């Protein structure tokens, strides 16, 4: 209810009072100001000119402000002109009651616009009360000319003052601090005009010490070129110690409205430039992502075939070179790609955050370049990598086994071939045809001994064949030569068997005619043959190659060798006994005067042969001792390498696990500001990076282990592969955690979230993040929303989940939570706002011309728009017209950038 008749202390003292919105209380009508006749004169002239500037649009004007509004008719007309609205039909009678009713209609309309009037009644206006009339007009000026002025969230007087300060800031001798003294020298008026219409004012020729010239120049230019009527006299301003503030504000507001079109265009251009700058930066980030993703995928595609190549090499050296190439790949080539993959994920997350903050659609990489595609390719790479290393190690073991078997085959074949040398000639000779009985018997016994020896060598032939078969099964590269040699040995062995059988038959036929036998020679031959075989077997065993992989195996060989040495004294006794038989033969022959015609007819094994082989056995024993001790030292060294690697691995492995757990705790704790957290995390990251020498040391130890062909380590459960993966995960996790804090800072700054709000969000989120994983399921998230003041129905909760979990993963991250909490309360650019800005630049047309864009926008952004805007095809189209509406809409959801 508007009280036009209420009175207060001001009214009782004769002065009018006006009550406005509390924000405008500093502009309340002050009756004391009217006590100054100079101020009242300035207000009367200014307010009259202001009213006429609007009334002339209706073809009328006023001469005397307190007289011409008394009947209420021109007052109602003034309100209709400045508001653009129709007031109730006025009463045309001349009586006082008609006038009061018309003035009340005007006052009712002013009250309907939210203005509360105190002590201003229709009777005072009808009676021509000058002070009340001036108070009413000032109220109208405040409401319709000044109140809606807004600059950076300030309004009315402050907004108008801030606008003046900004526009005049570059001009010398101008310092606008108020609406009275700051305007006395006239320079501020001239600066306002020059800022918007520089061709109308030669500002550099104005002098601060000539205020009358300055004021008259500004007033005349404003009236002639800007259609702003002269509302004040220069002399009145100069000759008044403090010009009337309301008169100055009224006049200056006319300048504001005269230049408001340019102001709107400038604001529109600034908004468009801001939107385009964001879009250009996002396009650049998208291009960077696409290139980095393509390069990384190309590298993976080139590398996987190399890792999947399972073509075996022929030799250990070639396979060890392959293993060295692989180690170079792990040390040199792969680590930078791990960093690139991590950086790619960070760039992707940062880009999506910037797109959300600028109200843009999420970035969808081109087909095949999604983060999931890269992760899948990386998974395939690591699968190929693991299989490749395992295959190489198996190949090295196979080739090692092959080399060992091949050498063993050559040794046994050489021994056998040496034994068979001359045997065919011996078996085919006809010596028994001219021999005596004793000689024939000797030949038969000799042959029996040979058969015994032949049978003893059967096992060696079978071993040779078995080794050749195993070499064939293991795909030995030189299998043809092995097979040829084995075939030759087997064929020769079969021939020896046939010849042996044939010679036995011949000797047995001759034996029937010869009966004499030298029992002593026979005994010698019988004992010498097995002893000779034992020595040959001992020499073969002492020269046999061996391969072991740990201390236990070599200690087993040493124990067996010690057991063999323990049998040597008994063997020596047998040798001495055999030699005693030969000595007895010599003794009997000498004693009986028998002249021996040759050696022992029953064997080719002479005492000298036995002694030579015994000497060879005694030489081979210490050589075998030395070989076993050298292998023991090697296995002890290998065990040292295992222990050294295990000691460091058992430290590094738990250290990595501890750091991973600490990062998990850091990511959900709140210690200081986000900037503090970021600094701490980067210091933490640096401490992790400084641990890299420990990883490098392990890599070096691991290389020594591989070079020593060590394939097991009982002292630790950690493998180098396990530690590499853990280290890479640690570096990736700390980098991702830092990126999350950076994105939270971006969100906080872009959305205007205070540190206290962010702390509250984090505290609330942690309370419902029961598992401390940095994310939560739908039930806990619903509880979190309710706890933070969101009333949720099923439909509303489904809408929110569509925002915070667009991929339907079933979990919500802290970043998605703070995005939601801030997005609906933050002023962001929208497609409608950008369209409205373009519409201002286009002077309300539905299209815009290229020259208009070049005139209003910076060159690079103008050309950016021109290159992307489609031709306008509406009904009012003209040649060269561009469609800014479709372009603006595309920026916010229909673009395939």
User: Can you list the domains of the chain with their CATH numbers?
Assistant: 269-401 (1.20.58.60), 643-744 (1.20.58.60), 751-822 (1.10.238.10), 831-892 (1.10.238.10)
| Helix, strand or coil, per DSSP, at residue 779 | helix
| Helix 794-804 and helix 778-787, axial crossing angle in degrees, nearest 10 | 110
Q: Which of 294, 279, 270 is nearest to 366 (CA)?
A: 294
Q: How far apart are CA 304 and CA 380, in angstroms?
A: 8
Q: How far apart are CA 68 and CA 63, in angstroms?
A: 7
pLDDT band at 593 (very low <50, low <70, confident <90, very high): low
Q: How far apart are CA 796 and CA 790, in angstroms?
A: 10
Q: How far apart are CA 683 and CA 699, in angstroms?
A: 25
Average pLDDT, stretch 784-789?
Answer: 72
**Distances in whole angstroms, Cα of residue 457 to Cα of each of 504, 541, 822:** 18, 14, 93
Average pLDDT, stretch 627-646?
Answer: 90
Q: How far apart are CA 696 and CA 685, in angstroms?
A: 17
Give pLDDT, residue 15.
Answer: 33
Whether residue 890 has pLDDT greater than 90:
no
Give pLDDT, residue 365.
Answer: 92
Sequence-separated (6 or more) residues with CB below 8 Å from residue 25: none
DSSP 24: G
Give pLDDT, residue 512.
Answer: 57
pLDDT band at 661 (very low <50, low <70, confident <90, very high): confident
Dihedral of alpha carbons 255, 258, 263, 264, sign: positive
The pairing of beta strand 775-777 with beta strand 154-155? unpaired
Between 377-381, 447-451, 866-870, the lowest mean confidence (pLDDT) is in 447-451
Q: Which two tokens stand for residue 876?
A: 């009012």
Q: What is the pLDDT of residues 396-439, one digit of tens each?
A: 787 777 778 888 888 888 888 888 888 888 888 887 666 655 77
Contact 369, 293 (CB under 8 A): yes
Q: How far apart are CA 98 and CA 92, in angstroms?
A: 7
Average pLDDT, stretch 487-499?
Answer: 88
Give pLDDT, residue 517.
Answer: 39
Contact 120, 134 (CB under 8 A): no
Q: Which residue did the predictor score with more confidence, 441 or 788?
A: 441
Q: What is the pLDDT of residues 539-579, one digit of tens each?
A: 888 888 888 888 888 889 899 989 988 999 999 998 999 88
Q: Which two tokens stand for residue 426?
A: 């011996």
Contact 840, 265 (CB under 8 A): yes
Give pLDDT, residue 735.
Answer: 92
Between 92-106, 220-234, 236-250, 519-533, the lowest mean confidence (pLDDT) is in 519-533
CB-based contacts of 846-852 (< 8 A; 24+ apart in sequence): 846/872, 846/874, 846/876, 846/885, 847/872, 847/874, 847/876, 847/877, 847/878, 847/881, 847/882, 847/883, 847/884, 848/881, 848/882, 848/884, 849/880, 849/881, 849/882, 850/880, 850/882
Between 36-45, 97-106, 123-132, the lowest mean confidence (pLDDT) is in 36-45
Give pLDDT, residue 525.
Answer: 84
**Distances in whole angstroms, Cα of residue 595 to Cα of each of 450, 584, 585, 590, 592:** 26, 14, 11, 8, 9
Whether residue 747 has pLDDT greater than 90:
no
Between 5-9, 284-288, 519-523, the lowest mean confidence (pLDDT) is in 5-9
Between 391-395, 631-635, 832-836, the lowest mean confidence (pLDDT) is in 391-395
Between 372-376, 587-591, 775-779, the lowest mean confidence (pLDDT) is in 587-591
Mean pLDDT of the chain: 82
Q: Which two tokens stand for residue 881?
A: 């017209």
Give pLDDT, residue 26.
Answer: 37
How many CA atoms does the CB half-sphere of 619 hold within 13 Å? 9
Q: How far apart are CA 878 and CA 547, in angstroms?
A: 92
Q: What does the longest C-alpha to C-alpha distance in the chain come to?
A: 190
Q: How far apart are CA 438 and CA 443, in angstroms?
A: 8
Average pLDDT, stretch 350-372?
Answer: 87
Q: Which two tokens stand for residue 452?
A: 């015994």
Contact 404, 455 (CB under 8 A): no
Q: 7 phi and psi, to 5 degrees?
A: -125, 155
Give pLDDT, residue 301.
Answer: 92
**What CA dihedral angle connects 745, 748, 749 and 753, to 10 degrees?**
-150
């Amino acid at each position: 209810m508007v009280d036009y008749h209420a009175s207060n202390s001001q009214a009782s003292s004769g002065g009018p009072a006006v009550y406005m919105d509390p924000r405008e209380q500093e502009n309340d009508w002050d009756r004391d100001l009217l006590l100054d006749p100079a101020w009242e004169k300035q207000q009367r002239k200014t307010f009259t000119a202001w009213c006429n500037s609007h009334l002339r649009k209706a073809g009328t004007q006023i001469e005397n402000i307190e007289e011409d509004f008394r009947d209420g008719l021109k007052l109602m007309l003034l309100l209709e002109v400045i508001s653009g609205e129709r007031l109730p039909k006025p009463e045309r009678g001349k009586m006082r009651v008609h006038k009061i009713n018309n003035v009340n209609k005007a006052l009712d309309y002013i009250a309907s616009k939210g203005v509360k009037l105190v002590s201003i009644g229709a009777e005072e206006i009808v009676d021509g009360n000058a002070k009340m009339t001036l108070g009413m007009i000032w109220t109208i000026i405040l409401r319709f000319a000044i109140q809606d002025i807004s600059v950076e969230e300030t309004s009315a007087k402050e907004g108008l003052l801030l606008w003046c300060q900004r526009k005049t800031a570059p001009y010398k001798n101008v310092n606008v601090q108020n609406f009275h003294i700051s305007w006395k020298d006239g320079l501020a008026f001239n600066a306002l005009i020059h800022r918007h219409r520089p061709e109308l004012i030669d500002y550099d020729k104005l002098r601060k010490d000539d205020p009358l010239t300055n004021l008259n120049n500004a007033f005349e230019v404003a009236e002639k070129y800007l259609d702003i009527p002269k509302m004040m006299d220069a002399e009145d301003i100069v000759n008044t110690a403090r010009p009337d503030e309301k008169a100055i504000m009224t006049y200056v507001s006319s300048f504001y409205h005269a230049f408001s079109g340019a102001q709107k265009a400038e604001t529109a251009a600034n908004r468009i430039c801001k939107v385009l700058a964001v879009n250009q930066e996002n396009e650049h980030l998208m291009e960077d992502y696409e290139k980095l993703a393509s390069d990384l995928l190309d590298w993976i595609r080139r590398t996987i075939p190399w890792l999947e190549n399972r073509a075996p090499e022929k030799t250990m050296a070639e396979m060890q070179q392959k293993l060295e190439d692989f180690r170079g790949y792990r040390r040199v080539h792969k680590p930078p790609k791990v960093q690139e993959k991590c950086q790619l994920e960070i760039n992707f997350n940062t880009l999506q955050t910037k797109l959300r903050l600028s109200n843009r659609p999420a970035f969808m990489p081109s087909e095949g370049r999604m983060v999931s595609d890269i992760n899948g390719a990386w998974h395939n790479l690591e699968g190929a990598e693991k299989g490749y290393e395992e295959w190489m190690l198996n190949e090295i073991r196979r080739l090692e086994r092959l080399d060992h078997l091949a050498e063993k085959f050559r040794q046994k074949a050489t021994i056998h071939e040496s034994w068979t040398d001359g045997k065919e000639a011996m078996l085919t000779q006809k010596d028994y045809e001219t021999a005596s009985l004793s000689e024939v018997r000797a030949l038969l016994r000799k042959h029996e001994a040979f058969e015994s020896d032949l049978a003893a060598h059967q096992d060696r032939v079978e071993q040779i064949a078995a080794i050749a078969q195993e070499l064939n099964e293991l795909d030995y590269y030189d299998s043809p030569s092995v097979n040829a040699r084995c075939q030759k040995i087997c064929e020769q062995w079969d021939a020896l068997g046939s010849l042996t059988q044939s010679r036995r038959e011949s000797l047995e036929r001759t034996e029937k005619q010869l009966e004499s036998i030298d029992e002593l020679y026979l005994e010698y031959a019988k004992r010498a043959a097995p002893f000779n075989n034992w020595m040959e077997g001992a020499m073969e065993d002492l020269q046999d190659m061996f391969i072991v992989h740990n201390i236990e195996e070599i200690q087993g060989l040493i124990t067996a060798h010690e057991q063999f040495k323990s049998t040597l004294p008994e063997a020596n006794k047998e040798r001495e006994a055999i030699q005693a038989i030969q000595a007895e033969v010599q003794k009997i022959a000498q004693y009986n005067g028998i002249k021996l015609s040759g050696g022992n007819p029953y064997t080719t094994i002479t005492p000298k042969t036995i002694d030579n082989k015994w000497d060879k056995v005694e030489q081979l024993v210490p050589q075998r001792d030395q070989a076993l001790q050298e292998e023991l030292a090697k296995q002890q060294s290998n065990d040292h390498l295992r222990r050294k690697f295990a000691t460091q691995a058992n430290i590094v492995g738990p250290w990595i696990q501890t750091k991973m757990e600490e990062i998990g705790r850091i990511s959900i704790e709140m210690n200081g500001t986000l900037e503090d957290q970021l600094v701490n995390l980067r210091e933490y990251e640096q401490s992790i990076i400084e641990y890299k020498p420990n990883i490098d040391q392990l890599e070096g130890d691991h290389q020594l282990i591989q070079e020593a062909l060590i394939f097991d380590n009982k002292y630790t459960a950690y493998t180098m592969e396990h530690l590499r993966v853990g280290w890479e995960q640690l570096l990736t996790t700390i980098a991702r955690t830092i990126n999350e804090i950076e994105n939270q800072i971006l969100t906080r700054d872009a959305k205007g979230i205070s540190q206290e709000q962010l702390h509250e969000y984090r505290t609330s989120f942690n309370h419902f993040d029961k598992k401390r994983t940095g994310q939560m399921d739908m039930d806990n998230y619903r509880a979190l929303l309710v706890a933070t003041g969101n009333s949720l129905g099923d439909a509303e909760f489904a809408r929110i989940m569509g925002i915070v979990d667009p991929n339907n993963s079933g979990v919500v991250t802290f970043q998605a939570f703070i995005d939601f909490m801030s997005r609906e309360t933050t002023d962001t650019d929208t497609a409608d706002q950008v369209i409205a800005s373009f519409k201002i630049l286009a002077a309300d047309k539905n299209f815009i011309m290229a020259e208009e864009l070049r005139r209003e926008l910076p060159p690079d952004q103008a050309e950016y728009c021109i290159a992307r805007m489609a031709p306008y095809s509406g009904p009012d189209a003209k040649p060269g017209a561009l469609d800014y509406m479709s372009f603006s809409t595309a920026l916010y959801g229909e673009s395939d950038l």
